[in-house]
Amino acid sequence: MSTPTPNPGTGLPRAVQLTGHVFDVRQVGGYVQLTVVAEAIPELARPGSFVAIAADGAPGSALLPRLMWVRRVRPAGRYGGTFDMAFRVSGPVTAWLAGRGRHDPLRLVGPLGRPFPLPRQPVVTLLAGIGHSTAPLLFLAEQLVERGCEVHLAVAADADAGGEPFGLVEAKRAASSITPLGVGAAYGDTPVARTMQAALERIAAEQRARVIYACGRPAFAQLASAAASAVGARSQVAVEIPMPCGTGACMGCAVAVPDGVDRRLVLACLDGPVFDGAAVCWDELTAAGVASAGSER
Amino acid sequence: MIGCSGDVSTAVAGLVLDNPVLAASGCWGTGAESARHLDLASLGAVVTRSITRDPTTRSSSRRILETAAGLLVEGGLPGPGIMTFVRDELPALLALGARPVVSIAAAGLGEFAELGARLCDAPGVVAVEVNLAWGSNDHARWLADLTQARRALAVVRRETPGSRPVLAKLPCDLTSVVEAAAAAVEAGADAVVVAAPSRALRVDQPHVGASPTVVAGALCGPAVRPLVVRAVWEVHAALPNLPVIGVGGIRTGRDALEMLAAGAVAVQVGSASLADPAAAGRILAELTDLLSEQAAPESADLVREGSG
């Protein structure tokens, strides 16, 4: 992956604030897929990047932006670069967003977050997602395949966000195998979580996966990390915790990570949302509830 | 001063600021994040998130929930502790050209004294803002009894160089904001910041008969702006020589202008920055335009020089 250009003087990966325009709105299964024309974001976004969409034009004048995973980018299209995002209508703001028409403006900040690191060598990978959180994994799968990696996908339906995994039809093009993991409502050490973890361990062992990539709420990300540890693979997990602003401003998404014998706080929106699964203090996180990216608040 | 040849400078207790728009505490990260979208050096000053003596190491220690017209902020103050702040964050902030007002919060008087002492020699700090609306497990701890608030401010004033203003940040859900402001001045505060978020609750009951879950936090955002305007107005009317900085739900230059017209010498922009990280810069530009449009003699003193 090319190193993203830092914003001058900040040392942080470049993120831009701009007005994009809706190019296309499509229904994909139970999801709405929005294609947006925007400068810079399609060039800068990587799998695991997300965008913050100002929602103050929505009914009720939402004060916090809505955060959406970047599903795909087309950097140099005929109409300028575009990116896609996918979400389920789950409240007034996502309904408003789904109702945007072609050419409607969207105020955006992005791309945000630390993306998934890609392996230097072509290796076997297992990608585990739940509900809408398969969106960034499909973006990742396509890039891994381009690099000669073998991609296996394991997907769960999300009992809480009420949904089948996103984009399974498209996933078939990139993935060597797709394994359903059932319906997850996984918080903590539940039978469902143990079954899912066992399934991930089995696939990873059978396919000799070297890296498990996952995206989901802390309980899901944790079980994927645990599966990786169990089979001696590495894990890179995008953790969906509530991120109020997405830009590092509000400090509302603190995540404890080990720091020598001690621990320190980093921000999911800035230092994550992708973390090495072995380097997260999961205990407090798995108690946290609602998903952030791609859902209503 | 304002209205004359585009000068929008203001002064807070002897501290001259290029303009009256400040970034409020807790709404712009540590600096570098916001500097991607906003020139921090262009603001009158920036108020850091409330720095505590010890680092916070608990995940999800702060939750922010959306309400109809405000944000309910629950819980802790994620931060690195004062030592790391002074060593790492402050120099980085100064390198960005920002003028930092350091906000401090503490659970006890001894902690306030330590915070004051640690900041005493820290270079570049233009003022200290004392967050009196925070205390362990009780948002109004310091203000439940004004004697305690007086003591806290006196301790910080004692540890802070005389040339550096001490600002007391007060909430407006008090029996009397004026009385609290007067107490703050008595204790040595040079200016007041009105208002810290007001105590608020969210009660979720999944269904009738279920035991409700309660989120106890503090409300900020446009919902509180009229309350803050009233509080600023009352404090300014009662204590006309005391510089008042208005903060609460400012989203436009016109909102800022209203706060100045109510008697504030400066404003802080907070929650607006969460959806629009460039908000403070935009509001400053809008305010500057409004002030130059209205540069009639009677509005020439909209931004007043506080003599406190």
Q: Structure tokens of A86?
A: 């996918």
pLDDT at A77 over 70: no
| Contacts A–B by Cβ distance under 8 A | 137
pLDDT at B3 over 80: no
Alpha helices in chain A (DSSP H): 41-44, 92-98, 134-146, 168-174, 191-207, 218-231, 282-285
For range B262-283, the mean pLDDT: 96
pLDDT in tens, B211-246: 998 888 899 999 999 999 999 999 999 999 999 999
User: What ipTM does the predicted assembly reach?
Assistant: 0.88
For range A179-203, the mean pLDDT: 82
Residue A146 touches partner B, C-beta closer than 8 Å: no
For range A98-108, the mean pLDDT: 94
- Does A63 sit within 8 Å of B271, measured CB to CB? yes
Asked if residue A273 has a cis previous peptide bond (ω within 30° of 0), the answer is yes
Residue A64 touches partner B, C-beta closer than 8 Å: yes
For range A29-44, the mean pLDDT: 93
- Does B34 sit within 8 Å of A249, measured CB to CB? yes
| Cα–Cα distance for residue pair B54/B81, rounded to 1 Å | 4
Q: What is the reported pLDDT for A184?
A: 74
Q: What is the reported pLDDT for B24?
A: 98
Q: Which residue of A has its CA nearest to B34?
A: A249
pLDDT at A56 over 90: no
For range B100-114, the mean pLDDT: 95
Question: Min CA distance, A251 vs chain B (Å)?
Answer: 6
Q: What is the reported pLDDT for A110?
A: 95
pLDDT in tens, B47-73: 999 999 999 887 777 889 999 899 999
Q: Name the DSSP class of B144.
A: H
Asked if the domains A16-112 and A124-285 are classified in one and the same CATH topology, the answer is no
Q: Is B245 helix (H, G, I), strand (E, B) or coil?
A: strand
Q: Which CATH number is A16-112's, of 2.60.120.460, 1.10.20.10, 3.40.50.2300, 2.40.30.10?
A: 2.40.30.10
Q: What is the reported pLDDT for B195?
A: 94
Provide the 10 A C-beta neighbour count for residue B145.
11
pLDDT at A164 over 70: yes
Chain B residues touching chain A at CB-CB below 8 Å: 26-30, 32-37, 49, 55-66, 68-71, 73, 78-80, 95-96, 221-222, 271, 273-278
Contact in structure between B231 and B210 (CB atoms under 8 Å): no
Closest Cα partner for A231 from A131, A124, A130?
A124
* Better pLDDT: B74 or B193: B193
pLDDT at A79 over 70: no
Residue A265 touches partner B, C-beta closer than 8 Å: yes
pLDDT at B285 over 60: yes
Q: What is the reported pLDDT for A162?
A: 63
| Cα–Cα distance for residue pair A13/A16, rounded to 1 Å | 10
pLDDT at A201 over 90: yes
Q: Is A159 helix (H, G, I), strand (E, B) or coil?
A: coil
Residue A243 touches partner B, C-beta closer than 8 Å: no
pLDDT at A106 over 80: yes
pLDDT at A172 over 60: yes
Average pLDDT of chain A is 88
pLDDT at A185 over 50: yes
The pLDDT-based confidence of B75 (bands split at 50, 70, 90) is confident
Residues of chain B in contact with residue A110, where contact means CB-CB under 8 angstroms, are none
For range B264-280, the mean pLDDT: 96
Q: What is the reported pLDDT for A250?
A: 93
pLDDT in tens, A119-158: 999 999 999 999 899 999 999 999 999 999 999 999 998 8
For range B161-190, the mean pLDDT: 95
Q: What is the reported pLDDT for B5?
A: 52
For range B95-105, the mean pLDDT: 96
Average pLDDT of chain B is 90
Asked if residue B13 has a cis previous peptide bond (ω within 30° of 0), the answer is no
Residues of chain A in contact with residue B56, where contact means CB-CB under 8 angstroms, are 254, 265
For range A262-272, the mean pLDDT: 93
Closest Cα partner for A34 from A111, A133, A100, A79?
A100
pLDDT in tens, B12-21: 989 999 999 9
Instruction: Mention every residue, 6+ apart, whose C-beta is less than 8 A from residue A198.
Output: none
Bridge-based pairing state of the strands A274-276 and A234-239: antiparallel
* Better pLDDT: B139 or B223: B223
A144, A267, B204 from B33: Cα distances, Å: 29, 11, 33
Q: What is the reported pLDDT for A187?
A: 57
Residue A290 touches partner B, C-beta closer than 8 Å: no
The pLDDT-based confidence of A80 (bands split at 50, 70, 90) is confident
Closest Cα partner for A115 from A271, A285, A296?
A271
How do the domains of chain A map onto residue ranges?
16-112, 124-285
| Cα–Cα distance for residue pair A35/A102, rounded to 1 Å | 9
For range B122-136, the mean pLDDT: 88
pLDDT at B176 over 70: yes
Q: What is the reported pLDDT for A4?
A: 45
The pLDDT-based confidence of A290 (bands split at 50, 70, 90) is very low
For chain B, domains (ranges, CATH) are 10-299 (3.20.20.70)
pLDDT at A168 over 90: no
Residues of chain A in contact with residue B29, where contact means CB-CB under 8 angstroms, are 247-251, 270
- CATH number for region A124-285: 3.40.50.80
Q: What is the reported pLDDT for B156?
A: 97
